A = this chain, B = another copy of it.
Amino acid sequence: MRILILMLLLPVLAFAAGESGANSQSTINVMPLPASVQMGPGKLKLDGSFAVTTTGYTDARLQAAVRRLQQRLEGRTGITLPQGVAPIGTAAVLKITVKQGGAAYPKLGDDESYALVIAGGGITLSANTMWGAMHGMETLLQLVSGDLEGYYFPLVTIQDKPRFPWRGLMIDVGRHFQPVDVITRNIDGLAAVKMNVFHWHLSEDQGFRIESKRYPKLQGMGSGGLYYTQEQVRDVVAYAADRGVRVIPEFDMPGHTTAWMAGYPELASAPGPYEVQTQWGVFDPTMDPTREETYQFLDGFIGEMAALFPDEYFHIGGDENNGKQWQANPRIQEFMRTHGYHTTAELQTYFNQRVLQIVQKHGKKMVGWDEILTPDLPRDAVVQSWRGYKSLDYAAREGYGTIWSTDYYLDHMGPAEYYYLSDPVPADSKLTGEQASHIVGGEVCAWGEFLSPENIDSRIWPRTAAAAERFWSPRAVNNMADMYRRLDAVSVWLEQDSTLHLSSTDKMLRQVSGTAELGPLGLLGKVASPEGVGVREQFYRQSPPGTQLVPTQQAPMVNVTDAVVPDPPYRRQFAALVDQLLGDAPKFAASSAELTQAFQQWRDMGPGFAAMAANAPLLQNASSRVLQLQKLGSTGLEALKYLQTGTTPPAEWSQAQITLITQAETPDASMLKLPWLRSYRELVLAAARVGEVKSTGAKEWKQKILDEATRQEPAQKYTW
């Protein structure tokens, strides 16, 4: 599921890169943008009189949500607020009305709508359910504003409800375990952007991460001691439910199961013993679908897990069975002949059917990856699509609930705009309305090869907030500049409340360098981003044996590439500077000071970086990228000079710069990308052709240069 997907993504990139959308700039910082917003003039001051009352249905969960709202408001404003729900009769600033008694646990299709009216006299939040009320509180929190008179809420009337009912995040804790606090703080993040599914990928070749009391060797021999106790799982499920988030466990089978076989080798289709896998890839160990004992085991196990997870859905994985163990086992081959199965895919269908019966026996509906979709799959199963629109649309046409995940693999390290623009039901979808209605939403996937508790938040956030808007807001909401403006705001709130994505880069760079004064490394940390998983694995596989770069589960994730963030704001900042400069032809004065300062910093960072690297070997594989950055700084200054003097540079200069850019785009041992090279390329090409400015109108000239830059991009390499 890891490498293939990268290839599939490439054709989409041209689409992903542009800024498009009919939707205009919004004026509030709410993300996801509500379905309907009417701004009024004026504001409602926020002060120590902020009493909250509830009418209609209430319970301990709602009261706890109110207390969290108050604490988070206090954290944003420094104002001491009255705590808890005020007694009936209090003159409240915020009146919350929930119509129906809330279910103990959220389920697919629950009413999540709410109405929020902020008027001069106070705030009214109305919802049919607890979940809607909690969504409304998140909106309210994001509306807090400040001016010279203090904190306030803008006057606004919001009617809101989600576009899709299934809005999820998958975290793979199999490849690298993530402690409970990582899970809960990311559930906080989900709730903050109105997502409602946490998909917990609990077993993998590399680890079995949950306690089974019935089969204790699963975690006992399959986890290296890193697993969740059932008590912890119950706590996480309750924590999530209190925030309107469903928890769906995934136990991937029949492949991706090496860790099960460490304790129970009899489950496998080839003789053991087995050890937990520590490398990355697709491996042979596969459950034996021909033995009744396999199903007896799964009946016991799934029964135990079904009791632990109250959600009506249960994910059985089903992906990437390479069939090798089945082909090599004469008994299994004989079984296939007897049953008339010609391919291992057909045998897997048989296996899926058997597992389906077990899942149903324990009162659950089944979810699986694309591969489970075979003719006899019952219509209440849900298919999670990772192989593109063709698979997604096929499942929807067949009437299956489907979840869009193909474009949402976070480990490809794409920019937020890529996730944002990938729509489960795009405007040009060929599906009928009825068919499209089977697409229940999407899930962002955090695969675990290179996730540590230190950096996982920065891989998930803030990009997942952009996907959350795609899942929640109307399809027409797609103004990219406005999305990024709101993403920058929500990103700060997310970290304030729970996640660590804004702090982790500098923290990890201090660790990598062994110093608190980051200097040139801090600069590198701002302008670089990590290569995606496909590039990283491929490069590592080609690296000489014995190098530190061969990744295994045990390899510490303390390289610069582990610290820097995907889609750093610097990419957009630099693009804006270049855009302003080129738009200011023929003087090229706009943003010139800022670009000059940046280029000088790059040019001059070498000695400082070298001095740090001399004491910190972990920095040394970034040296080649830093050298390129230095050269890009020098060249950038030259390009500015050519532009501002109107002098056309020699042809050799231009060629040398394109070569340099190409080198800087090529993956190297640093595993670092410079994600603003597209804008840099525009600058260099503009300098190379500055003579044309006078013969063309400044505006036309700029477009011509941009077209030229796009043509020069090496299609298979220039991604993001």
**Which chain A residues have a beta carbon within 8 Å of chain B's beta carbons?**
74-80, 83, 145-151, 181, 488-489, 491-492, 495-496, 502-503, 506-507, 510-512, 514-517, 548, 552, 554-556, 558-559, 569, 614-618, 620
Q: Judging by beta carbons under 8 Å apart, are A511 and B77 in contact?
A: no
Q: Judging by beta carbons under 8 Å apart, are A83 and B554 in contact?
A: yes
Q: Judging by beta carbons under 8 Å apart, are A510 and B502 in contact?
A: yes
Q: How many Å from the CB of A609 to the closest CB on chain B?
A: 13
What would be 14 A-B contacts, judged by CB atoms less than 8 Å apart?
Answer: A77-B617, A80-B548, A80-B555, A145-B615, A147-B617, A148-B614, A150-B617, A488-B515, A492-B510, A492-B514, A492-B515, A496-B511, A516-B569, A517-B569
Q: Judging by beta carbons under 8 Å apart, are B615 and A147 in contact?
A: yes
Q: Judging by beta carbons under 8 Å apart, are A507 and B503 in contact?
A: yes
Q: How many Å from the CB of A96 to the closest CB on chain B?
A: 22
**Cα(A548)–Cα(B146), bound, Å:** 15
With contact pairs A75-B556, A516-B569, A554-B80 given, residues A492 and B511 touching in the complex (Cβ less than 8 Å): yes
Q: Judging by beta carbons under 8 Å apart, are B517 and A496 in contact?
A: no
Q: Judging by beta carbons under 8 Å apart, are B496 and A516 in contact?
A: no
**Cα(A556)–Cα(B75), bound, Å:** 6
Q: Judging by beta carbons under 8 Å apart, are A146 and B514 in contact?
A: yes
Total identical chains = 2
Write the chain B residue with the least CB distance to A549: B78
Q: How many Å from the CB of A695 to the closest CB on chain B?
A: 40
**Cα(A510)–Cα(B492), bound, Å:** 7
For A555, the chain B residues whose CB sits under 8 A away are 78, 80
Q: How many Å from the CB of A325 to the closest CB on chain B?
A: 29
For A492, the chain B residues whose CB sits under 8 A away are 510-511, 514-516
For A616, the chain B residues whose CB sits under 8 A away are 146
Q: How many Å from the CB of A137 to the closest CB on chain B?
A: 18
**Cα(A516)–Cα(B517), bound, Å:** 19
Residue from A150, A492, A517 whose CB has the most chain B CB atoms within 10 Å: A492
Q: Judging by beta carbons under 8 Å apart, are B146 and A617 in contact?
A: yes
**Cα(A517)–Cα(B568), bound, Å:** 12
**Cα(A457)–Cα(B696), bound, Å:** 61
Q: Judging by beta carbons under 8 Å apart, are A510 and B496 in contact?
A: yes
For A556, the chain B residues whose CB sits under 8 A away are 74-75, 77-80
Q: How many Å from the CB of A499 to the closest CB on chain B?
A: 11
**Cα(A74)–Cα(B618), bound, Å:** 11
Q: How many Å from the CB of A154 to the closest CB on chain B?
A: 13
For A503, the chain B residues whose CB sits under 8 A away are 503, 506-507
**Cα(A332)–Cα(B591), bound, Å:** 78
For A150, the chain B residues whose CB sits under 8 A away are 617
Q: Judging by beta carbons under 8 Å apart, are B489 and A510 in contact?
A: no
Residue from A517, A548, A556, A615 whose CB has the most chain B CB atoms within 10 Å: A556
Write the chain B residue with the least CB distance to A512: B78
**Cα(A618)–Cα(B76), bound, Å:** 9
**Cα(A151)–Cα(B513), bound, Å:** 12
Write the chain B residue with the least CB distance to A150: B617
With contact pairs A147-B615, A558-B75, A615-B145 given, residues A552 and B516 touching in the complex (Cβ less than 8 Å): no
**Cα(A510)–Cα(B489), bound, Å:** 10
**Cα(A249)–Cα(B354), bound, Å:** 58
For A75, the chain B residues whose CB sits under 8 A away are 511, 556, 558
Q: How many Å from the CB of A192 to the closest CB on chain B?
A: 14
Write the chain B residue with the least CB distance to A148: B614
Q: How many Å from the CB of A139 to the closest CB on chain B?
A: 16
Q: How many Å from the CB of A233 to the closest CB on chain B?
A: 19
**Cα(A75)–Cα(B558), bound, Å:** 6
Write the chain B residue with the least CB distance to A619: B146
**Cα(A555)–Cα(B80), bound, Å:** 5
**Cα(A506)–Cα(B147), bound, Å:** 22
Write the chain B residue with the least CB distance to A149: B617
For A506, the chain B residues whose CB sits under 8 A away are 503, 506
Partner of A618, one of B77, B149, B516: B77
Write the chain B residue with the least CB distance to A278: B80
**Cα(A149)–Cα(B511), bound, Å:** 19
For A502, the chain B residues whose CB sits under 8 A away are 507, 510, 516
Partner of A151, one of B74, B76, B488, B617: B617
For A80, the chain B residues whose CB sits under 8 A away are 548, 552, 554-556
**Cα(A502)–Cα(B508), bound, Å:** 11
For A83, the chain B residues whose CB sits under 8 A away are 554
Q: Judging by beta carbons under 8 Å apart, are B620 and A148 in contact?
A: yes
Q: When A and B form their complex, which 5 residue pairs have the shortest distance between CB atoms, in order from nearest? A: A74-B556, A496-B511, A146-B617, A503-B503, A78-B558
For A507, the chain B residues whose CB sits under 8 A away are 495, 502-503
Write the chain B residue with the least CB distance to A515: B492
**Cα(A361)–Cα(B620), bound, Å:** 63
Partner of A146, one of B148, B181, B517, B615: B615
Q: How many Å from the CB of A552 to the closest CB on chain B?
A: 7
Q: Judging by beta carbons under 8 Å apart, are A559 and B517 in contact?
A: no
For A77, the chain B residues whose CB sits under 8 A away are 556, 558, 617-618
With contact pairs A145-B615, A146-B615, A503-B507 given, residues A491 and B514 touching in the complex (Cβ less than 8 Å): no
**Cα(A510)–Cα(B569), bound, Å:** 15
**Cα(A151)–Cα(B615), bound, Å:** 9
For A496, the chain B residues whose CB sits under 8 A away are 510-511
Q: Judging by beta carbons under 8 Å apart, are B514 and A489 in contact?
A: yes
Write the chain B residue with the least CB distance to A555: B80
Q: Judging by beta carbons under 8 Å apart, are A511 and B148 in contact?
A: no
**Cα(A558)–Cα(B502), bound, Å:** 18
For A146, the chain B residues whose CB sits under 8 A away are 514, 615-618
Q: Judging by beta carbons under 8 Å apart, are A495 and B514 in contact?
A: no
**Cα(A663)–Cα(B489), bound, Å:** 36
Other A-B contacts than A77-B618, A148-B620, 19 sampled, CB-CB below 8 A, are A74-B556, A75-B511, A77-B556, A78-B555, A79-B548, A80-B554, A83-B554, A145-B615, A146-B618, A147-B615, A149-B617, A488-B515, A492-B515, A495-B510, A495-B511, A496-B510, A496-B511, A502-B510, A503-B503
Write the chain B residue with the least CB distance to A618: B78
For A515, the chain B residues whose CB sits under 8 A away are 488-489, 492
Write the chain B residue with the least CB distance to A562: B78
**Cα(A74)–Cα(B615), bound, Å:** 16
Q: Judging by beta carbons under 8 Å apart, are B510 and A147 in contact?
A: no
Write the chain B residue with the least CB distance to A517: B569
**Cα(A488)–Cα(B513), bound, Å:** 13
Q: How many Å from the CB of A621 to the closest CB on chain B?
A: 10
For A78, the chain B residues whose CB sits under 8 A away are 512, 548, 555-556, 558-559, 617-618
